[in-house]
Amino acid sequence: MLAVAAALTTAACAGAAATPAPRTPAPAPTSAAAPPPVVLLDPGHNGRNAAEPAAIRRLVPDGRGGEKACNTTGTATDAGYPEHAFAFDVAQRVAARLEAAGVRVVLTRTDDDGVGPCVDERGRAGEEAGAAAAVSIHADGAAPTASGFHVAYADPPLNPAQAGPAVELATALRDALRAGGFRDSDYIGRDGLSPRADLAGLNHATRPTVLVECANMRNPDEAAVVSSASGRDRYAAAIAAGVLGFLEREP
């Protein structure tokens, strides 16, 4: 963070110096600058979920009065590249890009070798982090002919953050993924967006929170993209751009 703040300060000074003959000197950088915005990133699933079935099958509140399994193992490509590894790698890449832009990033898990956390805990993590936005990163496992991304948000909304800001965040991410060359899902949702009542991580959220299903890992073309570092970097660039676009819209 300190390096980021320094870089931003340098950029601001360079901009001021380029202004010809200012009437008044540019204000000196202040040490009381506003704290950086916080973004929560939630890489889906975890590397040891499959090894601990009892732990991840434990029922937790689903956020709408029911119960849901703590977590699931996630999907994989036909070649065996797992969703948890994809999600964790993309989250790391998004984090690096956001931090370079001056954002403080909090992750729901900091490695890919553990179990959980449960979906209710993931859903509350944005509030606990004081996040201005939260993004769960996943990839889907659908019929091989299906393809495209979709961005899910809680619907019907349960609180003000879900009612408007989460939809704005979903739309910003949808637009950024489109701009990054990715196609809307052709098998779920509409226009790349998917309102959902059944995702506990979204139901528990009291900060603007969405879940991105980047691709269908069972589709051969999309499996090739998610399995490549360059493909994951493209997803990360789009997600980071969408988050930054959303943050800039905040008052």
User: Can you give the binding site for Zn ion, defined by CB under 5 A?
Assistant: 44, 74, 138
Q: Min. distance of Cβ 100 from Zn ion in angstroms? A: 27
Instruction: Determine whether 213 is an active site residue.
Output: yes
Q: Min. distance of Cβ 145 from Zn ion in angstroms? A: 20
Give me the DSSP letters along 106-154.
Answer: EES-S-SSS----HHHHHHHHHHHT-SEEEEEEEE---TT---BEEEEE
Q: Of 205, 166, 170, 173, nearest to 90 (Cα)?
A: 173
Between 87 and 176, name the residue whose CB sits nearer to Zn ion: 87
Kindly state the greatest CA–CA separation across the chain.
69
DSSP code for 49: G
Q: Of 49, 31, 189, nearest to 115 (Cα)?
A: 49
Q: Of 233, 191, 239, 186, nearest to 211 (Cα)?
A: 239
Find the DSSP H helices in 19-103: 53-57, 83-100
Query: Rounded to whole angstroms, how far apart are CA atoms 4 and 89?
Result: 21
Cβ atoms of residues 37 and 25 within 8 Å: no
Q: Of 250, 244, 182, nearest to 212 (Cα)?
A: 182
Closest CB to Zn ion belongs to which residue?
A: 138
Please tell me which residue in 213, 222, 248, 250 is annotated as part of the active site.
Answer: 213
Q: Min. distance of Cβ 138 from Zn ion in angstroms? A: 3
Q: Min. distance of Cβ 28 from Zn ion in angstroms? A: 48
Between 44 and 157, name the residue whose CB sits nearer to Zn ion: 44
Between 101 and 108, name the residue whose CB sits nearer to Zn ion: 108
Between 44 and 192, name the residue whose CB sits nearer to Zn ion: 44
Q: Min. distance of Cβ 45 from Zn ion in angstroms? A: 6
Find the helix packing angle between 165-179 and 229-249, rounded to 10°: 140
Between 217 and 240, name the residue whose CB sits nearer to Zn ion: 217
Catalytic residues: 213
